[in-house]
Amino acid sequence: MNIVALPAFSDNYIWMLHDGRQAVVVDPGDAAPVKAGLESHRLQLTTILVTHHHPDHTGGVNALRDEFRVPVLGPQDSRIPSPVQAVADNDTFELLNRRWEVIHVPGHTRDHLAFVCHDETPLLFCGDTLFSAGCGRLFEGTPDQMWRSLSRLKALPPATRVYCAHEYTLSNLRFAAAVEPTNADIASYIQVCTRLRAQGQPTLPSTLGQEAKINPFLRCTEPPVMASARVHGAKDDRPAEVLGALRQWKNQFQ
């Protein structure tokens, strides 16, 4: 399995998976990078996967579907360019000779999906639900929904590789360091990611094992995270209350 990051807009990644002949793309907000990637690797597009309806994830769907005549798999959401083959929580299907699993992860949007590809090491395509060292804004969901969604993702094997849709890692790590100033794993990972970006490389994929050490939104039951959340408005130490306070703080963090 080969995985290519196709940069789009200012900080999006469109993920292209291929076996040397056929390709699947995830969240094509722009058709142009996908067409260029297919041409440069001499691939045939077979399927489009969509995690949620936001235009930076769906803007290229119509052009690609019309040109390549391929199915689009995504949530049952009228805001996604139709037709869409709707998939839902716990559905499975096969692409590129691998089994895929669908996980419903509401929070960022109400119908948001994540896709897990069961390769030698599991691959998680989580859109805007989980970022490296962060999570998506709560546009349509609640802190409780986001906590349950992130908990489901965190329960996947620690080696699972995390392919989120934005290059937000360094800004998220700055916030994570403010939440947990004494977390040595965060300090170390800032150095790693700073070097990667200086070399023009993505900070992704991460792994769930790495995220469990550095991502405050996965660490809402850790005492230092709970303490910081209380300072920033959490009324108690329930994980969803902690996450909600952290997300509000992050929305205003500079």
Q: Which residues are catalytic?
A: 52, 54, 56-57, 108, 128, 166
- Phi first, then psi, for residue 105 (nearest 5°) are -130, 70
Distance CA 116, CA 126 (A): 8
Closest CA to 58 of 35, 89, 80, 83: 80
Q: Which two tokens stand for residue 205?
A: 């994929």
Question: CB under 8 Å to 88, separation ≥6 — which residues?
Answer: 75, 76, 102, 104, 113
138-159 burial, b for 16+ CB within 10 Å, e for fewer?
A: beebebbbbbbbbeebbebeee
Question: CB under 8 Å to 135, separation ≥6 — which residues?
Answer: 107, 108, 129, 146, 150, 215, 217, 243, 247
Query: What DSSP state is assigned to residue 166?
Result: B
Element (H, E) at 8: strand 2-8
Contact 92, 81 (CB under 8 A): no
Indicate the angle between helix axes 239-252 and 223-231, nearest 10 degrees.
60
Given CA atoms 48, 103, 129, 87 in this order, what sign does their dihedral have? positive
